[in-house]
Every structure is written in C-alpha cells, then in structure tokens.
Amino acid sequence: MLSAIIYLLIYVCVIALVIYLVIWVLRDVIGLPLPGKVIQILWVIFALFVLLYILQLVLGGGGLHLPKFG
C-alpha cells in the first residue's frame, strides 16, 4: 500500500506539472488571456480528483491501477 501511495504522489506531481505548463503556454507563450477564476477552477477540480483517488486507495477501493515497474 505504501508503494501505491508513493506512485500516486509521483503521478500527482507529474500531472500538476503538466497542468502548470499548459496554463503557462496558453497564457504567456500563445497570449490567450485566461481569467484567474478559470485557472482556480482547474486547480480545484484537480485537487478534488486527487482527494478522491487518495480516499479510494486508503479505504480499500483499489485506487489507481498503476503500472508495475521491474
């Protein structure tokens, strides 16, 4: 279970980085004006999904079916 939590946290960090990079590219590189509320809603949705997966993992729902390395 500990390894599943570690893998989940690694995936959360990677997905958060991808979301941040997409927002950065849309706002700064392309110049698309994104309202602050839209960015805030995206992060809240992401946080809710992460909490859902953590609760599912802790309560025995199986969590994510992550690939096994090795």
CB 8 within 8 A of CB 54: yes
The structure tokens 């599912």 sit at 56
Summarised one tens digit per residue, pLDDT across range 23-68 is 999 998 998 888 999 999 999 999 999 888 888 887 876 555 656 6
User: What is the predicted pLDDT for the residue at 60?
Assistant: 74
Whether residue 17 has pLDDT greater than 90: yes
Q: Identify the residue with better confidence: 69 or 8.
A: 8
Question: Would you list the domain boundaries of the chain?
Answer: 2-58
